[in-house]
Amino acid sequence: MITTTTRQHTLRAHLPGRHTARAASSVEHQAMLAARLTTRDKWILALLHEHRVLTTSQIQDAAFPSGRSARQRVRDLYLWRAISRFQPFRQLGSAPMHYVLGPAGAAVLAAEHGLEVKELGYRHDRAMAIAHNQRLAHTVGVNDFFTSLIARARHIRTGETVVAWWSEARCARHFGDLVKPDGYGRWRTQHHTTAREVEWFLEFDTGTEALDKVGRKLHGYARLAEATSIATPVLLWLPTTRREAGARTALARVHAGLDHPRSVPVATAAADQLDPAAPHPSPAEAVWLPLTSARADRAGPRYSLADLADAWPGLAPPADPAAAEDEGPETAASPYRLPPPDPIPPSATANRLARGEH
């Protein structure tokens, strides 16, 4: 045993290697993917193209019943070069794996829409560049906000669902000359025959931006409301209740000075208001505090996302997001942009249902 040592690689089964970049761009590889990619796989690819980066837990929240099934599937997609991955540096512990759209996945998306990959605006080096972007944590945080809502809609099953989720880039293409939200969302609740919807622009605060700058963003939303004649709520998500109190003071000062304050409904919430022991904690819970007067410290009830519209009587119901997408400036300026993916994933295919991956 000492003189004839056993090599470690002989003690384990063969591990499939990852396809080379050249092989992944071949016709044969695309033919292989046609036989293996499910509708849900393609939905994940579209989500990565829209929102740039997702962690393993976010992909699980959005589309899988367990961490094990999510890890198995994203590993397959990685080996097929449909997606690429990286793990950011952390001084303590290990960061989760982060995924972006891969070259083979971009080719699949382009082919689905009858386009060339370059018409998607995709380049693999640009997709991977998010790993070194100073806004990586911010982007992941915004995506965590929405994937937690999707997880609630999938698992709690209370007649609630995410109707729309637009990325920061899509919002910038539509409204960037006036304001650049971190995202746009819409939440629907269904009770028997009655349905209610609330839409919002998201401002996701990580605690690094000056509070005065946070407040000044309301001027852009006021100009947008004036240009569109639509009052869309602005929701500010903050890391702590203490940070929220300071932000509300800055927001109230600016909000009170607007020409038409009612055209810019504002509400704030703090992440530490959520119960970490809950099965699926999300911003849908009663954590939202509307900014209803110049007194930022005014006590009042916190609203759930579904009931938030009640804080602003007279707020018009949301318009059709599909109509806004069709009529936006993006259609004329960039005809090859893909439509936003449905926030709710398609059902798993029958063969995966048989193995419990639904």
In angstroms, the CA 342 to CA 358 distance is 17
Question: What pLDDT, on the 0 to 100 scale, is given for residue 5?
Answer: 59
More confident residue, 12 or 63: 63
Helix (H) or strand (E) holding 269: strand 266-270
| Cα–Cα distance, 8 to 130 (Å, whole number) | 36
Architecture of the domain made up of 9-133: Orthogonal Bundle (1.10)
pLDDT of residue 302: 93
Q: Which of 5-9, 43-47, 155-159, 266-270 has the lowest mean pLDDT?
A: 5-9
Contacts of 46 (CB under 8 A, 6+ apart): 109, 338, 341
Mean predicted confidence (pLDDT) in 152-174: 91
DSSP state of 14: P
* Per-residue model confidence (pLDDT) at position 320: 65
Q: Report the Cα–Cα distance between both ends of the chain, in Å, rounded.
A: 48
The confidence band for 331, taking pLDDT boundaries of 50, 70 and 90, is very low
**What are the structure tokens assigned to 301, written together?**
């009830």
Answer yes or no: are the C-beta atoms of 267 and 255 closer than 8 Å: no
Instruction: List strands edge to edge, sheet with 54-55.
Output: 54-55, 98-101, 83-86
205 in helix, strand or coil?
coil
Q: Please check whether residue 251 is in contact with residue 214, taking contact to mean a CB–CB distance below 8 angstroms.
A: yes
Backbone angles phi, psi at 39, to 5 degrees: -60, -40
Of 2-11, 40-49, 144-153, the least confident: 2-11
Q: Judge whether 257 and 222 are in contact, CB under 8 Å.
A: no
CB 247 within 8 A of CB 211: yes
Per-residue pLDDT tens digits for 335-348: 457 899 999 999 87
Structure tokens at 326: 């069709």
Looking at residue 328, its pLDDT comes to 43
Residue 19 has pLDDT above 80, yes or no: no
| Distance (Å, whole) CA 51 – CA 341 | 10
Q: Residue 276: pLDDT above 90?
A: no
What are the residue ranges spanned by the domains of the chain? 9-133, 135-348
- Is the pLDDT confidence value at 284 over 70? yes
CA distances to 73, 87, 202, 232 from 94, in Å: 21, 8, 29, 39
Q: What is the rounded distance in angstroms from the CA atom of residue 127 to the CA atom of residue 83? A: 10
Which neighbouring-strand residues pair with 299?
none
Please report which confidence band the pLDDT of residue 299 belongs to, taking 50, 70 and 90 as the band edges. Answer: low
The residue that leads in pLDDT, 195 or 354, is: 195
**Whether pLDDT at 11 is above 90:** no
What are 49-106's pLDDT values in tens digits? 999 999 999 999 999 999 999 999 999 999 999 999 999 998 888 899 999 999 999 9
Q: What is the pLDDT of residue 327?
A: 42
| 86 phi/psi in degrees, rounded to 5 | -155, 160
Contact 109, 42 (CB under 8 A): yes
**What local confidence, expressed as pLDDT, does residue 12 receive?**
55
Asked if residue 133 has pLDDT above 70, the reply is: yes
Interhelix angle 56-63/39-51, rounded to 10 degrees, is: 130
Q: Which residues contact 118 (CB under 8 A, 6 or more apart)?
A: none
